[in-house]
């Protein structure tokens, strides 16, 4: 299954001195691609993104320097600030999927009371939690660059747009 290009949005962020973001790969926003949002974890798992969970998004800036992350909106809607304080506010709703490359800051700004997401990581990688503290550097910058290109797209497996949009540089 191939995804139509108009259904995927890309957002590039640069290092703001606190939140490193990914130097090469954009955030991918798949608008309305989860037709059965309650099955998000199963879809991700089928496509090799494991170690899944269901919950919300932290209301403080954070990122993972050792893995990429996919978030699928199961219910409700929310405004997320991506990329750090100088980033972009994005409204997501039931059925939307966000793929965050390693290092990308994300923070919940506000949400409906029923907002819930499912999250997972390529090959079930364990994730760390970084908050943009000065003592995290320069180690996190090296860690981010060591996170490999995923083998599959979390929604569309080997045929997904992630593999084209996140080519190795």
Q: Is 90 left (phi over 0), alpha (psi -120 to 50) or beta?
A: beta
Give this prediction's pTM.
Answer: 0.94
In terms of C-beta density within 10 A (0-12 exposed, 13-18 middle, 19 or more buried), how is residue 118 classed? buried
Ordered structural domains, the chain, with CATH: 5-155 (2.60.120.10)
Q: What is the pLDDT of residue 4?
A: 42
Count the helices and strands in the chain (H runs, E runs): 3, 9
57, 58, 60, 64 alpha-carbon torsion, rounded to 10°: -80
Q: What is the pLDDT of residue 167?
A: 85
Beta-strand ranges (E) seen in the chain are 8-11, 27-30, 49-55, 69-75, 77-82, 88-93, 97-100, 106-111, 116-122
The separation between the first and the last C-alpha atoms of the chain, rounded to the nearest angstrom, is 25
Q: What is the pLDDT along the chain (169 residues), one digit of tens a residue?
A: 334 455 899 999 999 999 999 999 999 999 999 999 999 999 999 999 999 999 999 999 999 999 999 999 999 999 999 999 999 999 999 999 999 999 999 999 999 999 999 999 999 999 999 999 999 999 999 999 999 999 999 999 998 899 999 986 5
């Amino acid at each position: 299954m191939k995804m139509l290009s108009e259904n995927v949005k890309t957002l590039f962020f640069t290092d703001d001195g606190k939140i490193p973001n990914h130097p090469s790969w954009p955030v991918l926003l798949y608008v309305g691609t989860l037709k059965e949002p309650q099955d998000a974890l199963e879809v991700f798992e089928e496509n090799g993104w494991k170690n899944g969970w269901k919950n919300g998004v932290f209301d403080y800036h954070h990122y993972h320097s050792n893995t990429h992350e996919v978030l699928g909106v199961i219910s409700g809607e929310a405004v997320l600030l991506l990329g750090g304080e100088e980033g972009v506010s994005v409204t997501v709703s039931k059925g939307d999927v966000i793929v965050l490359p390693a290092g990308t800051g994300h923070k919940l700004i506000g949400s409906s009371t029923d907002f819930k997401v499912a999250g997972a990581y390529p090959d079930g990688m364990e994730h760390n939690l970084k908050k943009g503290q000065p003592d995290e550097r320069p180690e996190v910058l090296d860690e981010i660059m060591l996170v490999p290109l995923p083998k599959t797209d979390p929604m569309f497996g080997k045929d997904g747009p992630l593999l084209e949009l996140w080519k190795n540089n």
